[in-house]
Structure 1
Amino acid sequence: MRCLIEQQVLEPALSALARIAQTRAPAAVLQGVLMEAERGQVTLSAYDYDVALRMTVEASVVDPGGAVLPAKLFAELVRRLPKGTVDIATIAPHHLSASIDVGTTHAELHGFDPAEFPVLPDMTGIAPVVISAKTLVEAVESVGYAAAKQDPSRPILEGVYVGYEDGKLVWMATDGLRLAKVSQTVDREMSIRCTIPRRALTELTRLLDADDDATLQVYQSASYVMFAWDGAQLFGRLYQGEYPDTSRAMPREFAAACSVERRRLEEAIERVTILAENERHTVSLYVKEGVLELTSRSAERGHAREEVPLAEFKGDAVKIALNARYVLEMLEAVESSKVVRMQVAQDRRSALFSDESDNLHLISAILTRD
């Protein structure tokens, strides 16, 4: 194999692929990027069985063929190469290593056997669902924070649920202590219902531009979902089984409700959290007529108190303790809203937040002696 690719084209593609390839993969070949050169283009693939990325770039192909080169080293080398045409060629007789040349710069990388690289999932024959990049990015950024970071007992909670329900595309994530739910009205019925690894969606949002007018084709099989756009395809292995019924977690009756300026609340919580207990980041929120009083206390550090004016209040004066980190992550997810609404459940076991788009964010209360 021999091909010529512009450094400015190859570098961003390899940077993305290197994030997929694992340095401690179960098979050594999965540490590499598969290069397949033919007909004026090179297809680059990285795969770790849970997430895969395939990108096609323009190239001048001198000799068609394939190679698998170590992803991290390959990406780092190309990133540091001078701008210009990168000449990549496999080295005889075994063609497992490759030479890389730009001007007076020459390097050789030892690679892996392309025959050992696993075949990516085949989505042939599956009708795609079309969705805008902006719609997807907004949804993932709004709910992804609530997915479990690691939950061996319930791995499905590490994913983000997406499904079409009654004219809306519903996105949801929960780790058992908090929940985020976004409903987006769509103009067509969509045959999609699955739970996607948060890691796959996080990588997808890094590759997409939320302000772009690009559209994606979404293909769902029994085991994988594939997002395709502009010469790129990202795969995610789906979690099997039914996503938990979260409707029972949503409170139906509330002791108090209020509206508050989002940025003012965020700044106040950031300040009082400095003196919150390290492990649980406990901050008490006392909702009463006209103000939201925030307090934190630590036996070693001291205590803090701050009042935030309310734009609206109804119900009874009530106090609830929450994990401040959870509140701050929620507020970051709804940063486009100037005002957030908070409702304290009648049983004081949770607080339900909503933004100006009526997206829901539920946070479980921390039991205290107060």
Structure 2
Amino acid sequence: MRVTVERAQLVKSLAHVHRVVERRNTIPILSNVLIRAEGGELKLKATDLDIEISESVPAMVEEPGATTVPAHMIHDIVRKLPDGAQVELATRPDGATLDIRSGRSKFALQILPESDFPDLTAGTFSHSFTLPAADLKRLVDRTWFAISTEETRYYLNGIFFHTVEVGGDLRFRAVATDGHRLAQAEVVAPHGSEGMPGVIVPRKTVGEIQKLVEDPGAVVRVELSDSKIRLTFAPAAERDDASAGIVLTSKLIDGTFPDYGRVIPQGNDKELKVDCRDFATAVDRVSTISSERGRAVKLTVGDGRLILSVTNPDSGSASEELAVEYDDDTLDIGFNSRYLLDIASQLETETAVFRLADSGSPTLIHDLGQTNALYVLMPMRV
């Protein structure tokens, strides 16, 4: 194999694919990135056996071929080369070394054969559709923080994507929960998503999706099977060709997501409206006193005002008062301050709406006048 590629394009693609490679691997081939030169392009692929990312860059191919090379090492090398440089990659006849040349710089890296590299993309996909990258990013950004990190309930370690009919319209919905809070966001369901199976996309894959949506004007082709999802990120300039771009393939979580509709309160009749920014900064201030373990903040609402208070026997107490819209009975309720701040950071309008029932029941939170995203938060004893 002998190929020449522009440094800027190579380092950008390596940055995309090398992230899935774990720094410490007991299987040597999983530390490597597969590079294949053919047909005027260089294709890069990396995997950890759960996620696979591939991308192609234009290249001048003198001798086609393929090999694998340490992913983090080649990324660091190319990243440190000067801007505008041309990078030549060539395998030696012994099949054990890859030479990297650029200007006066020369590197020789040990390689492993292409035949050892695993392929995650085997299998067929039963459902396929496209949606704007901005919609996918919105769904992920507004729900990812509620993904559980508790490995025993592995079926909560991801975002549940599915379609649901709302008022006669089909919606594409994302839900995440850790048992203490729930986040739900939805967009108009894309054509072709009808009848798709509900799938749980793992936390690590969700993180890669957030990083790979670099162009909000791009389009994403989604392909699904019972066990895998494949996302193809096509640049905005190639919106009509969703086969171009970065391809992310991932295993899905094999489990049943709980019936989350049962925990979304329907009868909460006490409505509290508060300025979202003022609320978030007040919670942040008073929670400075809270214990690292509990992080509890007490909300006392009544007579058009909200009092946030924290009492910590080890350090002291704090309180702050806000003017709010509320005309119901006085209510005391406690929440984890970090959870409140996480939700407040996702709200888009100036006014946050809290729908309350009593001090022991879950609270529903959403933007004023919007129901495309909602959040449920379980109370704490304070």
- 1:126: Cα distance to partner? 4.4
Deviation digits for residues 153-208 of structure 1, max 9, x if unmatched? 11110110011111101110001111001122236451432111122122112111
Q: 8 Å contact 1:255–1:316 — kept in the other structure?
A: no
What is the alpha-carbon distance in structure 2 between the residues aligned to residue 360 and residue 81 of structure 1?
47
> Is the CA contact (8 Å cut-off) linking 2:127 and 2:225 kept in structure 1?
no
Describe the shift of the 1:256–1:125 C-alpha distance in structure 2 as closer, same or farther (beyond 3 A).
Answer: closer
The answer to whether residue 172 in structure 2 is matched with residue 169 in structure 1 is: yes
For the 8 Å contact 2:333–2:358, the answer to whether it is kept is no
Q: 1:56 to 1:123 in 2, by over 3 A?
A: farther
The 8 Å contact of residues 20 and 46 in structure 1, kept in 2 or not, is answered as: yes
CA displacement 1:96-117 (0-9 Å, x = unmatched): 3211111001111222222111
Q: Secondary structure at the match of 1:313?
A: coil
Structure 1 runs (4+) deviating above 6 angstroms are none
Query: C-alpha separation between the residues in 1 aligned to 2:358 and 2:192?
Result: 37
SS of the counterpart of 1:134? helix
Q: Which runs of 5+ in 1 are unaligned?
A: none
The two structures, once aligned, show a CA RMSD in angstroms of 1.7
2:264 is the counterpart of 1:260: no
Which deviates the most, 173-182 or 296-305? Answer: 296-305
The aligned length equals 363
Please state whether the residue corresponding to 1:115 is helix, strand or coil. helix
SS at match of 2:291: coil
User: How far does the alpha carbon of each residue in 1:300-353 deviate from its partner, in whole angstroms, 9 at most, with x for none?
Assistant: 22111011221x22432111111111111111222x222111122336232211
Contact 1:283–1:323 (Cα < 8 Å) also in 2: yes
What does residue 185 of structure 1 align with?
188
| Structure 1 counterpart of 2:224, one-letter code | Q
Residues 128 and 192, structure 2, Cα contact 8 Å, conserved in 1: no
The answer for unaligned runs of 5 or more in structure 2 is 235-244
Q: Contact between 2:29 and 2:116, CA under 8 Å: does it hold in 1?
A: yes
**Counterpart Cα distance in 2 of 1:213 and 1:315:** 45
1:196 aligns with 2:201: yes
Residues 214-254 of structure 1 show CA distances to partners (whole Å, capped at 9, x for unaligned) of 11110001211000123210112111132111111122332
Question: Percent of counterpart pairs with the same letter?
Answer: 26
Partners of 1:175 and 1:354 lie apart in 2 by 18
* Aligned 8 A contact 1:196 1:239 in 2: yes
1:297 and 1:265, CA in 2 relative to 1: closer, same or farther beyond 3 A?
same
Counterpart Cα distance in 1 of 2:50 and 2:352: 36
Contact 1:320 1:344 in 2 (8 A): no
**Residue 16 and residue 188 in structure 1: after superposition, are their counterparts in 2 closer, same or farther (change >3 A)?**
closer
The answer to whether the Cα contact below 8 Å between 2:181 and 2:378 also exists between their aligned partners in 1 is: yes
Aligned to 1:214: 218
- 1:129 and 1:307, CA in 2 relative to 1: closer, same or farther beyond 3 A? same
2:233 pairs with 1:229: yes
1:205 aligns with 2:219: no
> What TM-score comes out, normalization by structure 2 length?
0.91
Structure 1: distance between partners of 2:49 and 2:56: 20
Counterpart check, 1:154 vs 2:153: yes
Q: How does 1:346-365 map to 2 (within 5 A)?
A: 346=358, 348-356=360-368, 357-358=370-371, 359-365=373-379
d(CA) in 1 for partners of 2:349, 2:378? 22
Q: TM-score, with normalisation over the residues of structure 1? A: 0.94
1:234-249 matches, within 5 Å, as 234-249=248-263
Matches within 5 A, 1:1-370: 1-83=1-83, 84-93=85-94, 95-122=95-122, 126-149=126-149, 151-166=150-165, 167-186=170-189, 188=191, 190-191=193-194, 192=196, 193-209=198-214, 212-230=216-234, 231-254=245-268, 256-310=270-324, 312-334=325-347, 336-346=348-358, 348-356=360-368, 357-358=370-371, 359-368=373-382
Moved more, 22-31 or 213-222: 22-31
